[in-house]
Structure 1
Amino acid sequence: MTERDVFEERSVHGGTLMLCLDTATEKRSIAVVRGSTLLALRAGELREAGASSILRDLDETLHAAGVGLREIELLAACTGPGSFTGLRSGLATVKALAASLRKPLVGVPTLHAIAYEARPAGRLVVMLPAGRGEVFAQLLRVGEEGFVEELGEAIHVSPSKLVESALNLGGGLKWAGSGAAKYLEQIVEATRAAGLSFALTSNEEGREPLEGEWLFEQTTDVLVQGVAALALSSWRAGAATSAELLRAIYVRPSDAELNERCHEPG
């Protein structure tokens, strides 16, 4: 974490005490949450992805919240897609904690956490940079209360191919995520070429796109509060898992795996 990292503290109310983290995106974030109340938040650019660094940040966040590790009732983490190194370190850490503390664990897909921040949306394209000029993306529906429904699988694709596919959907469409922000110019150009209207909005407005309109929702890059909300909902629905069963969502092979495949005999 850098000196720009920030702690936020709020008063304690009733509810499930959760420790949540996102190490999949460019901004690592860790939060201690009781029910829907944020007790402490640590967020900053991901400079170190190792488990020791994550453990240090977790300890500092717990201290800021005035909470002991053994008081935590539920653990939650972003499961990807995103940074391979960040995912592996983060999930290894949270799985070890869940196993040692014998606490329930909930994994939240990264693209779902972004969608939660862009609610509501009947059809939402969520984009996350994947490196090398490509993105992770998924078509989702998200309700007012934050329930996320998958309308398609998460994919690894070039922005141009994604926009082309989106044009074939027709009708109004909402876009969100740092990937959409990064390639916004391509999205706007495609909108104009297709004779559609385009608008920017913030998540405070929370509006749906009009028919024939593409709408870019400007959302926070700090995903951990969305992770907390979705994890709590999943846990209440009985969807918690164990450390042994939690898996990362990579969508595509890592660079190391790709290199290994390239050297496999034909």
Structure 2
Amino acid sequence: MKLLALDTSTAGGGVAVLDGDAVLAEWILQSALTHNRRLLKAVDLVLGELGLTVRDLDAVSSTVGPGSFTGVRIGLTTAKTLAWALGKPFVGVVTLDALAEPFGFTRWSVCPLIDARKGEVYAARYVGDGKGAVVRTSDWEVLPPRVLVEKFEGPTLCCGDGWTVYREFLMERLKEQVVEAPAPYHVIRPAFVGACALRRLQRGEADDPAAAVPLYVRPSEAEIHLGRAGRPFEQD
């Protein structure tokens, strides 16, 4: 199964193509350009280098948030449109799940963090089973780092751009209780987005591209002004 995986939820963006468990290509770029200026070009580049077209794809996936509200919408809309036009399955993946994905080899707690601005981080907690899988043990949430540290229990591995922003504070408060992931794992890797999506597809799960919506965790500015919260992305 050839799957296209997209991520545009932070300042960095990426595209990956997987064929089953094999990662055929992965492209990541940190750039000041908005994602709508480069995402489709990146898709064309990656597929072209592989000698493929969008019609060779069997499924499409993207991150659904939390992260940059505008960035999430760009990637999600692109993936949903491709899936709908091609008549292929679409799978949405939560950014925090993708960040935690590579740490199933450990039995430690894992806490990916994404900078949410306004002095807050998006976070969730996971436990690795030591055999390659992670299990989420908390809700996806947005909170100040000073509140987050009260929830840590035992050695915890942290990753993500939220960690890099608040590293000094978290290390001072948590000391030996926290372990920092290697730098490459602070970036949302589209290959791990694809791995999460493939696992859902293997369970017979997919999302309706016409109905899937972003997972903002907190309401957008527009929703705050309207006095209502956004409908959450529904996923087990």
Same fold (TM over 0.5): yes
Q: Which residue of 2 aligns with 1:66?
A: 51
- Give the Å deviation of 1:132: 1.9
Aligned match of 1:33 in 18, 30, 51? 18
Aligned partners of 1:173 and 1:158: how far apart in 2? 18
- Give the Å deviation of 1:261: 3.2
Q: Which residues of structure 2 form unaligned runs of 5+? A: 229-236
1:142 aligns with 2:125: no
Aligned partners of 2:165 and 2:107: how far apart in 1? 21
Q: Which residue of 1 aligns with 2:168?
A: 185
Which amino acid is the alignment partner of residue 28 of structure 1? G
Q: Mapping of 1:1-20 within 5 angstroms?
A: 16-20=1-5
- Give the Å deviation of 1:233: 1.2
- Give the Å deviation of 1:59: 1.5
Cα pair distance change 1:125/1:27, threshold 3 Å: same
SS in 2 for 1:156: strand
Q: 1:115·1:148 contact (CA, 8 Å) conserved in 2?
A: yes
TM-score normalised by L of structure 1: 0.78
Q: Which residue of 1 aligns with 2:65?
A: 80
SS in 1 for 2:48: helix
Aligned partners of 2:93 and 2:11: how far apart in 1? 17
Aligned partners of 2:128 and 2:61: how far apart in 1? 20
Which amino acid is the alignment partner of residue 244 of structure 1? A
Aligned partners of 1:260 and 1:22: how far apart in 2? 28
- Give the Å deviation of 1:256: 2.4
- Give the Å deviation of 1:172: 2.5
1:236 aligns with 2:236: no
Cα pair distance change 1:220/1:130, threshold 3 Å: closer
Aligned match of 1:257 in 201, 215, 223? 223
Aligned partners of 1:238 and 1:145: how far apart in 2? 22
Aligned partners of 2:132 and 2:218: how far apart in 1? 27
Q: 1:117·1:220 contact (CA, 8 Å) conserved in 2?
A: no
More strand by share: 1
Aligned partners of 2:130 and 2:211: how far apart in 1? 30
- Give the Å deviation of 1:109: 0.7
Aligned partners of 1:245 and 1:146: how far apart in 2? 31
Rg larger in 1 or in 2? 1
- Give the Å deviation of 1:73: 0.4
Which amino acid is the alignment partner of residue 233 of structure 1? R
Q: Which residue of 2 aligns with 1:248?
A: 214
SS in 2 for 1:131: coil
- Give the Å deviation of 1:220: 4.5
Aligned partners of 2:145 and 2:13: how far apart in 1? 24
Structure 1 stretches of 4+ moved >4 Å: none
Q: 2:108·2:155 contact (CA, 8 Å) conserved in 1?
A: no
1:56 aligns with 2:41: yes
Q: Which residue of 1 aligns with 2:144?
A: 158
1:125 aligns with 2:125: no
Q: Mapping of 1:216-231 within 5 angstroms?
A: 216-218=180-182, 219-231=185-197
1:175 aligns with 2:146: no
Q: Deviations over 1:142-196 (max 9, x none)?
A: 3345433221111111111111232xx3x3222222212221111111124xxxx
- Give the Å deviation of 1:135: 0.6
Which amino acid is the alignment partner of residue 156 of structure 1? V
Q: Which residue of 2 aligns with 1:44?
A: 29
- Give the Å deviation of 1:260: 3.7
Which amino acid is the alignment partner of residue 52 of structure 2? V
Q: 2:160·2:188 contact (CA, 8 Å) conserved in 1?
A: no
Aligned CA RMSD, in angstroms, stands at 1.9
Aligned partners of 2:140 and 2:47: how far apart in 1? 33
Aligned partners of 1:156 and 1:103: how far apart in 2? 33
Q: How many residues align?
A: 224
SS in 2 for 1:24: coil
